């Protein structure tokens, strides 16, 4: 998996235009969710690798996000579910680009198929080189939105 900084940068690019900061914060949690679940099950739960794989499968992520959305107060649940699922799917989309030597990364149709797919664009260990561009992207987006905010506040010229 690409590191969470790269995933967060992708979520920041997509989620920053959202006006509601609360919805944005859920979307950011959603983009971290697959890795947090995978590593929690693997390292904290001692689960075998295959048991953790549904956390990186588009269809299997639906019940995960649904269960998490149910923990919100009622008026927020639908939005929380969509934000969590959107973030999680964005994560899976980025992981799809990894190179697993043709073995496949994502169980794209689980539980209906165990077939895995990958695009093979970058090796896992090369993710370290994506960290600085990810930071630069986050900085550029933040700068853009701050400038927009400042220019929006300026009084209209007479």
Partner 1 sequence: MFSNRGYRWKLGAALTVIAILGVAAARWGDSINPALGRCVAEPRRWEGASLWFPAARILSVRETDYEIATGAAQIRVTGRAPAASGALITLTGIFHADGPRFEPLRTRVLSPHVHLRWLMEAVSIVVALAVLANFARHFLFRPRLLQVERSD
Check binding of 70 to partner 1 (CB under 8 A): yes
Largest CA distance in the chain: 68
Per-residue mark of binding to partner 1, 77-106 (x: CB under 8 A): xx--x------------------xxxx---
What Å distances lie between residue 88 and 9, 39, 81, 129, 139, CA to CA? 14, 15, 10, 23, 23
Least distance in angstroms from the C-beta of 3 to partner 1 = 4
Least distance in angstroms from the C-beta of 150 to partner 1 = 22
123 DSSP β-pair partners = 99
**C-alpha–C-alpha distance, residues 9 and 48, integer Å:** 30
Check binding of 132 to partner 1 (CB under 8 A): no
Which of 44, 14, 39 lies closest to 28 in space, CA to CA?
A: 14
Stretch that binds partner 1, among 62-70, 88-96, 141-149, 150-158 (CB under 8 A): 62-70
Orientation of helix 77-95 relative to helix 4-15, angle to 10°: 130
Could you list the residues that contact partner 1 (CB under 8 A)?
A: 3-5, 8, 21-22, 25-26, 28-29, 32, 35-36, 41, 47-54, 60, 63-64, 66-67, 69-70, 72, 74, 77-78, 81, 100-103, 107, 110-111, 114, 123-128, 131
């Amino acid at each position: 998996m690409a590191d969470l900084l790269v995933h967060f940068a992708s979520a920041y690019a997509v989620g920053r235009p959202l006006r509601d900061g609360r919805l944005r914060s859920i979307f950011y949690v959603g983009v971290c969710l697959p890795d947090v679940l995978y590593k929690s099950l693997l390292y904290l739960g001692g689960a075998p690798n295959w048991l953790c794989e549904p956390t990186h499968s588009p269809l299997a992520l639906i019940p995960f996000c649904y269960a998490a959305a149910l923990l919100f107060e009622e008026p927020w649940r639908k939005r929380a579910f969509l934000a969590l699922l959107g973030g999680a799917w964005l994560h899976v989309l980025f992981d799809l680009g990894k190179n697993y030597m043709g073995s496949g990364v994502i169980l794209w149709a689980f539980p209906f198929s165990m077939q895995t797919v990958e695009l093979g664009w970058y090796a896992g260990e090369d993710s370290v080189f994506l960290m600085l561009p990810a930071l630069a992207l986050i900085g550029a987006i933040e700068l853009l939105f701050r400038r927009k905010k400042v220019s929006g506040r300026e009084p209209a010229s007479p």
